[in-house]
Amino acid sequence: MKVAFTAPMKPIDHPVPSGDRTMGRLIVRALRLAGHEVEVASSFRSWRAHGGEDVTREVKELALAEAKTIAEQWIERGDVPDVFLTYHLYHKAPDWIGPYLCAKFNIPYVVVEASRAPKRQSGNWALGFNAADAALAQASQVVALTNSDALCLKEVLNEDVLTVLPPFVETAKFEVSHSVTKGSADGKIRLLCAGMMREGDKQFSYMVLAAALKQIADLPWRLTIAGDGPARGEIEPLFDRERIDFVGLIPWQEMPKLYRSHDVFVWPAVREAFGFVFLEAQCCGLPVVGGRVFGVPDIVDEGRTGLLSDEGDASALAKNIAYLINNTDKREEMGLAAVENIHENHSLEAGARGLDKVLKAAIDHHRFKRRVQGG
């Protein structure tokens, strides 16, 4: 099939790296792996940090202007895609482009990673919430990447439209051509965390991690922090600089070696949708310690590939880190299970198979609607 793609939350060519950008790129790769032709129809970003009627109306006008330009291009070249797929849709990043084009050309509309927060039905985000809901109502298939998102979506979607497809990772990119030594030369367990350093949830995650590590200062560990951002000046002083290596923002090509040179991956995951770093770490054979929030339990097999604690609970996080520091056999057992988990449930190939089924279901559902409506 020919698939038109857009990502209103963060386009896949956005200059700032993030899990969202990575997942968008992986969706495009998975679709191509499944044999589909993918065209990035638009890099328009509807996401806004702040809501309000004036802001939302302005964004809508810009989005519809973009949609009309795309429509003219499709008509001029005489080539219309079979499906329009939008990645990551919610009240802060509504999609007007996909629904407009699908209605104009009578093609199926598919949404991958939709989330819905009913508390945003009123207030500054009301128009964005309503626009996102309107898009969901038009969709022939909606994919939730986590079971927590699916629960909220079930309030407005029928079961035949809603699918849960676990997030996935390109495992080949995390293979290394040579062995990597784990552990420090002084025998300390090497902990790793990776996350952007910005205000809000990310900064709070670093605060929780710092508080947890202070509780196990007597244990033999050393922490590497990979990441950078505007809040770095506030984050760095939270940690004991004698036991921390701040390595800054690491190019993705170097991340596999970084993962594999450590023993345990730790990240509190405050308000994380699922935490793409948990997929990468497990792919590289690291047991993980994180927060039990939203979609994290969907990708971390608790007790088998990692240990989870309640969101923001520094003491519980410290206890889990300490357990893996003190149990070499368990670290190794979980690391092996982590690799199995990724290859069995979260590989690019698994994503390709899942998305292929979604597109076929969307075509079937769209045809059924047309027959019912007499179109």
Per-residue pLDDT for the chain (375 aa), expressed as one digit of tens each?
999 999 999 999 999 888 899 999 999 999 999 999 999 999 999 999 999 999 999 999 999 999 999 999 999 999 999 999 999 999 999 999 999 999 999 999 999 999 899 999 999 999 999 999 999 999 999 999 999 999 989 999 999 999 999 999 999 988 765 455 565 557 899 999 999 999 999 999 999 999 999 999 999 999 999 999 999 999 999 999 999 999 999 998 899 999 999 999 999 999 988 888 999 999 999 999 999 999 999 999 999 999 999 999 999 999 999 999 999 999 999 999 999 999 999 999 999 999 999 999 999 999 987 777 765
**Backbone CA torsion sign across 160, 161, 164, 167:** positive
For residue 78, count CB atoms less than 10 angstroms from its CB and return exposed for 0-12, middle for 13-18, buried for 19 or more: exposed
Instruction: Please state, in angstroms and rounded to a whole number, the distance separating the CA atoms of residues 120 and 106.
Output: 30
41 three-class SS? coil
CA angle 135, 36, 148 (to 5 degrees): 45
CA 188 to chain centre: 32
281 near 195, Cβ under 8 Å?
Answer: no
Give the other-Cβ count within 10 Å of 328's Cβ: 12
The candidate with the shortest Cα–Cα distance to 256, out of 285, 276, 234, is: 285
Return the structure tokens found at 10.
Answer: 């963060």
Strand order in the sheet with 221-226: 244-248, 221-226, 189-194, 264-267, 288-292, 306-310
Rounded to the nearest 10 degrees, how much is the dihedral formed by the CA atoms of 217, 218, 222, 226?
Answer: -20
Give the other-Cβ count within 10 Å of 211's Cβ: 17
**Backbone CA torsion sign across 65, 85, 168, 348:** negative
pTM: 0.88
Instruction: Please state, in angstroms and rounded to a whole number, the distance separating the CA atoms of residues 319 and 247.
Output: 26
pLDDT value of residue 179: 53
For residue 229, count CB atoms less than 10 angstroms from its CB and return exposed for 0-12, middle for 13-18, buried for 19 or more: middle
288 near 266, Cβ under 8 Å?
Answer: yes
Start and end residues for every CATH 3.40.50.2000 domain found in the chain: 2-168+348-373, 171-345
> Where does 170-243 have alpha helices with state H?
201-215, 232-235
CA 3 to chain centre: 21
CA 204 to chain centre: 19
Fold of the 2-168+348-373 domain:
Rossmann fold (3.40.50)
DSSP, residue by residue, 258-293: HHHT-SEEEE--TT-SS-HHHHHHHHTT--EEEEE-
Pairing type for strands 141-144 and 189-194 reads unpaired
134 near 60, Cβ under 8 Å?
Answer: no
CA angle 299, 21, 19 (to 5 degrees): 35
The size of the chain, in residues, is 375
Instruction: Please state, in angstroms and rounded to a whole number, the distance separating the CA atoms of residues 271 and 292.
Output: 10
Tens-digit pLDDT profile for residues 189-243 = 999 999 999 999 999 999 999 999 999 999 999 999 999 999 999 999 999 999 9
For residue 13, count CB atoms less than 10 angstroms from its CB and return exposed for 0-12, middle for 13-18, buried for 19 or more: exposed
Fold of the 171-345 domain:
Rossmann fold (3.40.50)
338 near 286, Cβ under 8 Å?
Answer: yes
Under DSSP, the state recorded for 78 is T
299 near 167, Cβ under 8 Å?
Answer: yes
